[in-house]
Amino acid sequence: MGVNVKGFMLQPVGPEALGWFKEPIASMDDFRKYRFRTPPGIPGQTYKDIGVASVAMGGGDILPALEKGTIDAAEWCCPKPDSVFGFQKVLKHYYLQGLHQVVVNADLYINGDVYDGLTDLEKKALEVAANASLSKAMSYRIYENGKALKDLTENHGVILHDIQNSGASGFARKVFTYGAHSFPAISGAVRGGADGASFDRSLWLHEGHRGRGVRGSVSPRARLEQIHVKCSAHFRVRVATEDGSDSTERQLRRLIETFGRERIVWGSDYPFVTMEDGGYAGAVGLLESQLAADPELIDMIRGENFMRLFPGAVEA
C-alpha cells in the first residue's frame, strides 16, 4: 500500500456470526422482513442492496433497541461476546458463519523509520510479544466460544443454524460483488451454489489435500471463469497405480484439462514440504519432472499465470 509502517497482528476476534433472529430464515424473503442491526460501511450497504433494512448503531444500543422493537434482528460478534451482551434474552435463533465479516483483527502499527531504528533484540521482542498475543487470543476465542455455545444451547434455549442451509444465498452472491474489491471471496458460498456470482478476482482452490479429487465437487466450479487453482504439492496425494507409475502427472493433467492452462498457479505448501520429499526444492522438482515435456506450461504455472492475474504484485 506504500505506507511506511511495520505491522503486527495481535488479537483476532471471531469467527463472526451472521446474527440473531426471531424466527428461522427459510428464504431471502424471510431475511428481508427484518430490521437488522449491521456494521456500517460496506457490510451495511451490501445488505441494503439486497433489500434488507440495515440499521447501524453502537454496541450499547443494540439490546435496548431489540427490547423496544426498534430493530428485529442483530449481529455483533461471536458466541462469547454475544452472550455477554445478552442477545439470548430476546432472540433464540442464532446463525453462525457470518458472511459480512469473517474476523476482526486488533493490530499494532509502528512507524517504519522508528522500527528500522530499533535494535535486532528490540525487533525480536516485538515479534515474540505479538506472536504470543496472537496465539493466546486465538486459543481464548476457541475455548470461550465453545463454552458459550454450550451454555446458550443447553441453558438458554438458543437454536443454532447453518448459514448455508438458510436460504440466504442471495446475500452470499452480493458479497462476491463487493468482495472482489474489498475482502476475499468466500469459498463456502461457492459450495452453496453461488454460480451466478459476479466477482472479478480469483477464488483459489487448494488442490492437493488427500482424498480431494479433480472430478466431482471441484470440476463444476470450472464453469466460473474467475476461479483459479493453486496446484499444491502433489507428492502429498500420490496414489498407487496398477503399473507402478507416479500418479502426480495424471492429477496435474486432470486439473489442466478441467480448468485450462491459464487457470493453474503454483503452490508448494511451504513450509510443510520441508518435512518430507526433499522440501521446497523437491516440490518444485516434482512439478518440473512431471511436466518436463511442456516447459512453456511449467513457466505458466510457476509464475506467468499469477503475474497475469495480479500485474505488479511482484516488482522486479
Question: What nine digits make up the cell of 190?
Answer: 461457492
Q: Which residues of 87-111 are buried (b: 16+ CB within 10 A; e: fewer)?
A: bbebbbbbbbbbbbbeeeeeeeebe
Is pLDDT larger for residue 232 or for residue 180? Answer: 232
**Beta strands at 5-13 and 104-111: parallel, antiparallel or unpaired:** antiparallel
**Lowest-confidence region among 49-53, 159-163, 226-230:** 226-230
Q: Residue 219: pLDDT above 80?
A: no
Residue 300 DSSP label: I
Is pLDDT larger for residue 104 or for residue 134? Answer: 134
Residue 82 DSSP label: H
Average pLDDT, the chain: 75
Q: How many helices (H) and strands (E) does the chain have?
A: 12, 11
Is pLDDT larger for residue 183 or for residue 303? Answer: 303
For cell 436460504, what's the residue?
A: 167
Rounded distance between C-alpha atoms, residue 169 and residue 179, angstroms: 15
Instruction: Answer for the pair 6, 113: CB distance below 8 angstroms, yes or no.
Output: no
Q: Residue 159: pLDDT above 90?
A: yes
**Lowest-confidence region among 24-38, 49-63, 211-225:** 211-225
Quick one: pLDDT at residue 181?
38
* Mean pLDDT confidence for 81-97: 92
Q: 166 Cβ partners below 8 Å, 6+ apart?
A: 18, 24, 25, 26, 31, 95
pLDDT tens across 248-281, in order?
677 778 888 888 888 888 765 544 454 455 555 6
* Mean pLDDT confidence for 52-79: 90
Quick one: pLDDT at residue 94?
94
Instruction: Answer for the pair 105, 9: CB distance below 8 angstroms, yes or no.
Output: yes
Percent of the chain with pLDDT over 70: 66
Residue 158 DSSP label: -
The whole-model pTM stands at 0.54
**Lowest-confidence region among 81-85, 186-190, 242-246:** 186-190
With cut-offs at 50, 70 and 90, classify the pLDDT of residue 124.
very high
CATH 3.40.50.970 is held by the domain 202-309: no
Helices 169-182, 42-49: inter-axial angle, 10-degree rounding? 140
Long-range contacts of 64-68 (CB under 8 A, 24+ apart): 65/37, 66/90, 66/91
Percent of the chain with pLDDT over 90: 27
Amino acid identity of 281? A
Quick one: pLDDT at residue 312?
55
* Mean pLDDT confidence for 173-183: 44
Q: What CATH number should be reported for the domain whose range is 5-105+135-165?
A: 3.40.190.170
Is pLDDT larger for residue 3 or for residue 204? Answer: 3
- Among 105, 99, 65, 69, smallest CA distance to 85 is for 65
Domain coordinates in residue numbering, the chain: 5-105+135-165, 202-309
